Amino acid sequence: MPAGRFAPSPSGDLHVGNLRTALLAWLFARSTGREFLLRVEDLDRVRAGAEARQLADLAAIGIDWDPPVVRQSERGELYSAAVAALDTYECFCTRREILSAPSAPHAPDGAYPGTCRDLTEAQRAERRAARPAALRLRSTVSEFTVHDVLHGEYTGTVDDLVLRRNDGTWAYNLAVVVDDAAQAVDQVVRGDDLLSSAPRQAYLATLLGQRPPAYAHVPMVLGPTGARLAKRDGAVTLAQRGGPAAVVPELAASLGLMGDRPRDILAVFDPAALPRTPWTLPDL
C-alpha cells in the first residue's frame, strides 16, 4: 500500500520543528489514504535512549503509525544489493581535498568535481594503500528536476554522490532511496532544507528502476535569532513547552489551523493553504 513516512535520526530528543514536520507528514499521508510509517535513520549519530523518547513523544501528541518501525542499521543487505546494480567507482578524496580541488569552485552546490572518476587501476591501488575508499555513483547527468507540492518544479545539481563512506557506513542519499522504494513510500514530506537533496535522490531512484516519490518540502521552524531551530534556543522540546496539551494547538496555529489533536487538525487540513514561509518559534 502506498505510504508516507517520518524518519528521524536518534541523536537526541525531538524539538518542536521535528514534531511539526512529523505532524505535517502524518497529515499529508492520512489525508490521502496512505499508510504512515516510521523509519529510524540510525546509520550515523545515535544517542542511547533517544529512539524510545522520540517514539513516545510522537505517540503523546497523537501521531499513530503503521508497524513495523524500521531501522536503517538493520538493512545493510538491501543497500549492498542496490549498490551492486549501479555504476560506481572508488573515491579517495578527503573533504579538504575536494574543497581545494581546482575545479571545485566551478562545481555548483558543492558538487563533487570528479577527481577520482577516471583514475587508472594503478592509481587506485596506490591510493588504497594510503587510505580506505569511499564509493561514488558514476552519474550520467548534471541536474535533475523534481516536482514539489509547495515549490513546484525544482531543478537541482546531481553529481557523483557518495553511496558508501570510507568508514563503511552507508550514505544517507542511498539509504533513504532504497528504503523508500522497499517500503512503498511514494510521498516524502520533510523540511525544505532538504529540497536540494531531492534531485539527487530522485535521479538515484530512477537508476534503481523506481518512480521518484511525490515531494512536499515544508518551511522550517526558526529560533528567536532567525536561525534554524536548535536546542540552544531554550524551551524547544515537548516537555519543555508544556506537553501535548500546549504543543499540539501551537503547532496547529503555526499552520493556520485549529485543533487539540492531530485527528481534529486532519479534518480541516488543506495542503494548498499551508504557509510558504518559515515559522519563528515564540518564546514561552
List residues forming the annotated binding site for Zn(2+). Answer: 91, 93, 112, 116
Peptide linkage before 68 cis (omega within 30 of 0): yes
Annotated binding site for L-glutamate: which residue ranges?
Answer: 5-9, 41, 172, 190
- H or E element: which one contains 54? helix 50-60
Annotated binding site: which residue ranges?
Answer: 5-9, 41, 91, 93, 112, 116, 172, 190, 231
Cβ neighbour number for residue 283 with a 10 Å cutoff: 9
Q: Terminus-to-terminus CA distance in the chain, angstroms?
A: 41
Q: Which residues lie below 8 Å from residue 190, measured CB to CB, with a gap of 6+?
A: 7, 21, 25, 217, 218
Cβ neighbour number for residue 168 with a 10 Å cutoff: 10
Q: Are 4 and 28 in contact (CB under 8 A)?
A: yes
Q: Are 251 and 19 in contact (CB under 8 A)?
A: yes
Annotated binding site for ATP: which residue ranges?
Answer: 231
